[in-house]
Structure 1
């Protein structure tokens, strides 16, 4: 008999917005191929139903919500949880602790939950005091009402153990091994600097913009990403691209092949993320065989080990570290090969998907055993 799983908390399937959506694009078809009945909840207009890679076995359910920066996650999470509670799948996979507010509804319906807690959202500079409070409270509720937690980095697990006293299972993100792809028109292999990030301060975007102003005098600089809401950082990148002929701002890229090509041929990929756990972009860059210069954080150290160059958040040191790799082709090759080998050993989708399925099976089986026990007790009382 097929087990059913509801995936709640992303923009839908298939969607290309961020790390959660990437994980669902890999996990949902995998579970379907293993015999699961998979339903992914999403938002209107966010899922690409005409995507040729879409697995028709995966059900997509669109629910309503308020499309604002502060309320979209909470409101879409609530409507998805209400629908799932009515349909009662065997298990639910929840993404994002903001949905912790709705976990009691699933518990009341006897639906076990596996929650990917993501990063430490209440540490992110992009949120105001109220939003940080909302995330911190959601995290406390997740620790209180979630059945099993997923941490995508060991450092995240240590933080949750310290703050909330709860353990969980470590499941990182995966990277896809990609074939050799052509170089983007106008660029050369190992001849340009690349940054891929959402435009928020904790991704070191302001510092990279300042460094790029210097680096673009010597090498092409390619910037991929946006804030999603406009704002000051987008204006700064736009101004830089207008002033510096060697700077290209490509905005958000949903085409995996194009993004993989940019990573595959970059001379340096600068990764400035600081408050998440295992970052999907970093793992995929490693899988593409990219020389990496990363901001020195506990999370980035955990992922890249000694396969990349780590640098403090200092513009002059960033310029120095990136330049050192750009001028040394042997160093580029050594870093690229080491990163690819590490990704193949520790960060593959086969590994990630298998761990998710194992965790979901344990929850569903445990819930099924409890349900059978309750039915037997009820039958014995009625006899």
Structure 2
């Protein structure tokens, strides 16, 4: 039974509660432990991997007996599909590519310091600068360090230095860190002397409604197109894939999902590609999971170009949907795919040859699709991921 409570917090600053409901106590005299989640755009949001993880984790923690607060940004979430038990708080920040993480992280941390939850889950090591505030307040922290942000091509020299400094601060002040890949775990151990705990991302099993393409995509032939899903930033091999798509589109349709979030040269290149080639479709950012899952399930090939990071949520979801994968050859992608993917160098001609070759080989496509689906089910179930987070948070309560 869920008991709705009036939240006088809505008028308090700097955090503003935009929804609230708290589950009944576990038993007479028992107080539910309180966890705050900082570092995402909020709950529920479909922006990226962290947001996807929080959409699954927050309700799971509530099921396990926690009071859950998720900090976010104004206008970045929707009430559709929100679990009423989750308290959603918004704080202010600067909405720029370089400063948004730091500024929203600071204001959310400041609000959490004032409210003093029992434990805080922090997403992104860039928020490591603010961990001393929580340590001073006596609030233990579990930090998902994300990928190796200071190696991402989209950042300039100053931003990379800031991310690196944030990692150093995280290594110093976090009570425990979570690494979403074994390689990330190794990097933190070797470079910062910190032992992390490995917890990957999960993926949702597609339901029957995603077996067929959405009406908007009905012109596509199942198994006959290549799908690219990524934020349009350099380290995701966007420029190389755009060049490869000019070759692929001569024989097969190309579907591109994603934007940079802030506009720029890569967004313009993708838009120009779609304008020049009738066989290329740019769908922008998709909030409709059912449509995206259907695109993955029916794709002849999914090209995954992410190069800096750990276990990528889009890759795991594509695997769960059974999409045959051609991936940029990185230690992270090999860790996730094992022997179930086709790996290529970030060179347009090689990408095009691998994609077209797989599109023209239905038997191999079927074999790879079945193999990635089995691997995803075995290693990347959300139930296991959420249980691992809950266990680590419980340990910090002591």
How would you bin the TM-score normalised by the shorter chain? Answer: over 0.9
Separation in structure 2 between the aligned mates of residue 172 and residue 242 of structure 1, nearest angstrom: 38
- What residue in structure 2 maps to residue 109 of structure 1? 137
Q: Distance in 2 between matches of 1:56 and 1:179?
A: 24
What does 1:1-383 correspond to in 2, within 5 Å?
1-49=31-79, 51=80, 53-180=81-208, 181=210, 182-183=212-213, 184-364=217-397, 366=398
Shift of 1:314: 1.6
Instruction: Give the C-alpha shift of residue 54 in structure 1.
Output: 1.1
CA-based RMSD of the aligned residues comes to 0.7
Distance 1:305 1:357 in 2: 27
Distance in 2 between residues matched to 1:257 and 1:191, nearest whole Å: 19
| CA apart distance, 1:245 | 0.5
Using the alignment, how far apart are the partners of 1:235 and 1:46 within structure 2? 24
Count of residues in Structure 1 that have an aligned counterpart in Structure 2: 363
Gaps of 5+ in 2: 1-30
Match in the other structure for 2:12: none
Q: Which digits, 9 at most, give the CA deviation of each residue in 1:274-320, with x for residues without a partner?
A: 00100000000000010000000000000000111111112111111
Q: Report SS of the residue matched to 1:114.
A: strand
Which residue in the other structure is 1:379 paired with?
none
Normalized against structure 2, the TM-score is what? Answer: 0.90
Cα deviation, residue 71, structure 1: 1.1
Aligned to 2:7: none
User: How far does the alpha carbon of each residue in 1:112-136 deviate from its partner, in whole angstroms, 9 at most, with x for none?
Assistant: 0000000000000100011001000
8 Å CA contact retained: 2:256, 2:283 = yes
Equivalent-residue separation in structure 1 for 2:86 and 2:358 (angstroms):
43
Residue 72 of structure 1 and its aligned partner are, at CA, apart by: 0.9
| 3-state SS of paired residue (1:239) | helix
Q: Which runs of 4+ in 1 moved over 2 A?
A: none
Structure 2 residue matching 1:313: 3-state secondary structure: coil
SS of 1:38's equivalent in the other structure is strand
How much does 1:45 deviate?
0.2
Deviations along 1:127-167, one digit per CA (max 9) or x if unpaired, are 00110010000000000000000000000011111110101
After TM superposition, the score normalised by the length of structure 1 is 0.94
How many angstroms apart in 1 are the aligned matches of 2:150 and 2:46?
24
Counterpart CA distance in 1 for 2:131 and 2:234 is 31
Alpha carbons 2:302, 2:324 under 8 Å: kept: yes
